Amino acid sequence: MAAPALRGSLLALGATRRATAHGPFDVAEFRNVATHRSAFALVRGDVRGDAPVLCRVHSSCVTSEFLGACDCDCAGQLEAALAAIDGEGRGVLFYLAQEGRGAGIVAKARDRMIVQASRHRTTTFEAYERMGLHPDARRYGEVADACALLGVEAPLVVLSNNPGKVSALEREKLRVAEMRPLARDASPFNAHYLEAKRASGHVLGTARADAAELPRAVACTTPRPLHGLPDVLHVATYLLPVGGSIDAPVWVELDAFVDLASRAERIALRGG
């Protein structure tokens, strides 16, 4: 990894080789000393030099990547990007802790609750506006700093369906050679979400007509302390399709909480 070990507020902590379903990657770990968040770069091959570098800038999604939820396309895009870099033999995937388009897991849970309570008449972007949030609060300064630490100076071929992400990267003074869309088919369980993204300018196919119906109604609630635990606020409950097959997932309830004492965000699953 190129010196210096600290670029801006991003501290390079070293790299290890890790096996994945798409072959081995060198995983560089970083720590933002200002936000105390971790970031990672999964590197294949020598990404230095003048040749354009295949690149994916990916934001974390706990529900799809760790819980197996199928109401978004995040995990699918992650797998497709790693497969593309493996096929190219050279590239880098930046993995950033920017859950919920940078607003966090609690805001994401309230977004899903608002959308589901409206029976999908409200989009995810409208829900963020209703909460007083920017529709996409992600920032990509960490990518620019990580590129400098890794010695990536060539233009990037960005694996994304989002022209707004390309513009945001360019605002960080990163050169983008082209945007290469990640084609993923919609499922009945993420059809509403992908249609909202398509309508907002993402490069996606036409909407599916067979979007899945919720198994039961969802109520839009206000934050409230748990009985006997006044420092723990319950902030949202929504329905999450997880596990099983893409055609027949299991619906569970996801509850989101804020621990006022530790300022931690927490989630719990119920049912099944």
3-state secondary structure of 110: helix
3-state secondary structure of 191: helix
- Residue 5: CB partners within 8 Å, gap ≥ 6? 11, 12, 149
Just list the catalytic residues: 136, 138
- Residue 233, both tokens: 């606020």
In a domain, 229, yes or no: no
Mind listing the pLDDT tens digit for each residue in 51-77?
999 999 999 999 999 999 999 999 999
In a domain, 52, yes or no: yes
pLDDT of the residue at 2: 46
CATH of the domain at 22: 3.40.50.10990
User: How far, in Å, CA of 99 to CA of 195, rounded?
Assistant: 20
In a domain, 127, yes or no: yes
Please count the structural domains in the chain: 1
Helices (H) and strands (E) in the chain, counts: 7, 12
pLDDT of the residue at 50: 96
Q: What is the DSSP letter of 34?
A: T
- Residue 2: CB partners within 8 Å, gap ≥ 6? 148, 149, 150, 151
pTM metric for this prediction: 0.95
- Residue 218, both tokens: 């969802």
In a domain, 32, yes or no: yes
Q: What is the mean pLDDT of the chain?
A: 95
User: How far, in Å, CA of 212 to CA of 250, rounded?
Assistant: 13
Which domain, by its residues, includes 119? 6-213
Regions of the chain with pLDDT less than 50? 2
pLDDT of the residue at 207: 76
Amino acid at 2: A
In a domain, 233, yes or no: no
- Residue 103, both tokens: 């607003």
Kindly compute the dihedral angle of the four CA atoms of residues 60, 66, 71, 76, in this order, to the nearest 10 degrees.
70
In a domain, 158, yes or no: yes
